[in-house]
């Protein structure tokens, strides 16, 4: 298969494997999703989901969170790692949402990326999953599989994102980025496949009859 054929196959196969794509991070609105995505940096979604109930019981909106002492937030989110930086970002971004956005999460990439602790990937996840705006957040799973499946040779997540956006229809981005993540976790993990051993890699690179 050439690259376009591989992309078409990946799209078709992942739709078969994952027709439904539930959002992995537990949340109730754009704000709680934003906080959960921020916490997921260098942390598993499963771990985040064990931490956020206590955090959101303490404060589940920017108005309340902006008044919580950073130390209290840090203690709750410690299991997620990087707690000093993340706790400071959570309290400060909450204050800025109240001051600059009437307590609402902005539906705008640039405005989101201006918030503390919010990079392009986090903004893309929020835009895609909270607001349905086409985006292709590239995490380590997607970056790895795009290279493994020879869909991108990008050395950075930014280049991989650009390559994948060119390969796949815009209306498929939001669902596909989750499908690739699910496939990476279930079949084509970093240690569980060398690019040849998992079911998906075998199918994608099977010699033509």
Domain boundaries, the chain: 3-21+136-204, 30-131
Percent of the chain with pLDDT over 70: 99
DSSP assigned state of 205:
T
> Which DSSP string do the residues of the chain spell out, in sequence order?
--HHHHHHHHHHHHHHH-S----SS--SSHHHHHHHHHHTTTS-HHHHHHHHHHHHHH--SHHHHTTS-HHHHHHHHGGGS-HHHHHHHHHHHHHHHHHHHTTS--S-HHHHHTSTT--HHHHHHHHHHHH--------HHHHHHHHHTTS---SSHHHHHHHHHHHS-GGGHHHHHHHHHHHHHHT--TTT-SSSSSHHHHHHTPPP-
Q: What is the mean pLDDT of residues 129-149?
A: 95
CB 26 within 8 A of CB 52: yes
Residue 139: active-site member: yes
Catalytic-role residue among 26, 45, 108, 139: 139
- For the question of residue 121 being annotated catalytic, the response is yes
CATH fold of 3-21+136-204 reads Endonuclease Iii, domain 2 (1.10.1670)
Whether pLDDT at 85 is above 80: yes
Of the listed ranges 105-109, 129-133, 139-143, 166-170, the least confidently predicted one is 139-143
CATH number of the 30-131 domain: 1.10.340.30
Encode pLDDT of 22-78 as tens digits. Answer: 999 999 999 999 999 999 999 999 999 999 999 999 999 999 999 999 999 999 999
| pTM of the predicted structure, to 2 decimals | 0.92
Give the pLDDT of residue 39. Answer: 98
Q: Are 124 and 38 in contact (CB under 8 A)?
A: no
Say if residue 140's pLDDT is above 90: no
The reported pLDDT for the residue numbered 208 is 62
Q: Which residue has the tokens 């998992």?
A: 198
């Amino acid at each position: 298969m050439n690259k376009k054929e591989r992309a078409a196959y990946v799209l078709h196969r992942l739709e078969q494997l994952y027709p439904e794509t539930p959002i992995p991070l537990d949340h109730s609105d754009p704000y709680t999703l934003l906080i959960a995505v921020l916490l997921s940096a260098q942390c598993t979604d499963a771990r985040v989901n064990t931490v956020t109930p206590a955090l959101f019981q303490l404060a589940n909106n920017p108005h309340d969170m902006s008044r919580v002492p950073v130390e209290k937030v840090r203690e709750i989110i410690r299991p997620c790692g990087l707690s000093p930086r993340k706790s400071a970002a959570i309290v400060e971004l909450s204050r800025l949402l109240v001051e600059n956005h009437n307590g609402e999460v902005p539906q705008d990439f640039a405005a989101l990326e201006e918030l503390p602790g919010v990079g392009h990937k986090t903004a893309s996840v929020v835009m895609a999953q909270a607001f349905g705006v086409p985006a292709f957040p590239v995490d380590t799973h997607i970056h790895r599989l795009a290279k493994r499946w020879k869909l991108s040779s990008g050395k950075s997540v930014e280049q991989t994102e650009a390559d994948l956006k060119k390969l796949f229809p815009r209306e498929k981005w939001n669902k596909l980025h989750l499908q690739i993540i699910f496939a990476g976790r279930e079949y084509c993990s970093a240690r569980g496949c060398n690019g040849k051993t998992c079911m998906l890699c075998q199918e994608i690179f099977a010699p033509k009859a």
